[in-house]
Amino acid sequence: MIITIANQKGGVGKTTTAVTLAHGLAIQGKDTLLLDLDPQGQCASALGLVQEPGVFNLLVGVQTLANVTRTTGRPRLALIPGNKRTATAQVVLNAEEFKLDIIRQLLRPALPGGLNLVIIDTAPSVGRLQEAALFAADLVIIPTTVDYLATEGVVKVIHTVNALVKRQNWRGSVLGILPTFYDNVTRESQQTLDDLQRTFGAELILPPVHRATVLRECGAEGKTIWEKAASSRPAKEYADLVWRVADYLPT
């Protein structure tokens, strides 16, 4: 099972969601691999690990999946770290007109019998690599902030996904849109949530994750919310997402 976290809008909680979900599922006993396709390389930092050109080496074919996969010091959670060279890989691949199924092909050795789990974090940009990350996915999660411009970013991901269904016969599905940085106090949050439900259907909108300073601290300290504040509100909110995803997985 491959789960891609995507939104071309920056700073909407993609990396936080990818890292939190990956570690949450590992804690639930699932062997989980986190793949960082963003040249910012923040998955490694969020786990307190060093950035490396792992994704670059994998994409350009100079190292195998096993060679670029790192342990994280957390049971059942592995990481393929990235860094700014991921952007170079994208340029190289574009020049070679790579196939859209490149990510799934590269990950094949990690998915024996389809039982293992890969979470892909993506960059806040549009491009063929982002498209390939969506194409690889069995499930897509779209985090979004709840401000007035939020819907726009979500619409673009949904358009890309619909085009993949139509033109490439993509067989994945969108698990949902995850409202992040939610704030009960502002009208903007509530109004945007209503807008999202009206535009995309209430069934596609996941329960929101509130704005929480502790999530920012986690990122800065290289700890996941399960390590830093397991009984906090954001931990409970992300636990809901972990259970939803776990429902899709073979037991």
Ligand X SMILES: Nc1ncnc2c1ncn2[C@@H]1O[C@H](COP(=O)(O)OP(=O)(O)OP(=O)(O)O)[C@@H](O)[C@H]1O
Residues in touch with ligand X (CB under 6 A)? 10-16, 38, 40, 42, 124, 180-181, 209, 211-212, 215-216, 219
Of the pair 169, 213, the CB lying nearest ligand X is at 213
DSSP string, 113-175: GG-SEEEEE--SS-SHHHHHHHHH-SEEEEEEE-STTHHHHHHHHHHHHHHHHHHH----EEE
Q: Residue 205 and residue 194: Cα distance in Å, rounded? A: 10
Of the pair 17, 32, the CB lying nearest ligand X is at 17
| Residue 145 binds Mg ion (CB under 5 A) | no
Q: Which does 84 bind (CB under 5 to 8 A by kind): ligand X, Mg ion, none?
A: none
Of the pair 77, 116, the CB lying nearest ligand X is at 77
Segment interacting with Mg ion (CB under 5 A) among 11-19, 137-145, 170-178, 206-214: 11-19
Q: Residue 114 and residue 62: Cα distance in Å, rounded? A: 25
Shortest reach from residue 218's CB to ligand X, in Å: 6
Can you tell me which residue has the tokens 């636990």?
239
Segment interacting with Mg ion (CB under 5 A) among 6-14, 49-57, 181-189, 218-226: 6-14
Of the pair 14, 85, the CB lying nearest Mg ion is at 14
Shortest reach from residue 109's CB to ligand X, in Å: 27
Read off the amino acid at residue 20.
T
Shortest reach from residue 86's CB to Mg ion, in Å: 12
Residue nearest to Mg ion (CB): 15
Of the pair 180, 192, the CB lying nearest ligand X is at 180
96: burial class by Cβ within 10 Å (0-12, 13-18, 19+)?
Answer: exposed
Of the pair 14, 30, the CB lying nearest Mg ion is at 14
For Mg ion, the binding residues in 55-74 under the rule CB under 5 A are none
C-alpha torsion sign, points 113, 109, 128, 242: positive
**CB distance 224 to 238 below 8 Å:** no
3-state secondary structure of 3: strand
Q: Which does 237 bind (CB under 5 to 8 A by kind): Mg ion, ligand X, none?
A: none
Q: Which does 215 bind (CB under 5 to 8 A by kind): ligand X, Mg ion, none?
A: ligand X
Which has the closest alpha carbon to 135: 154, 109, 107, 176? 107
CA distances to 91, 137, 190 from 121, in Å: 19, 11, 27
| Binding site residues, Mg ion, CB under 5 A | 14-15
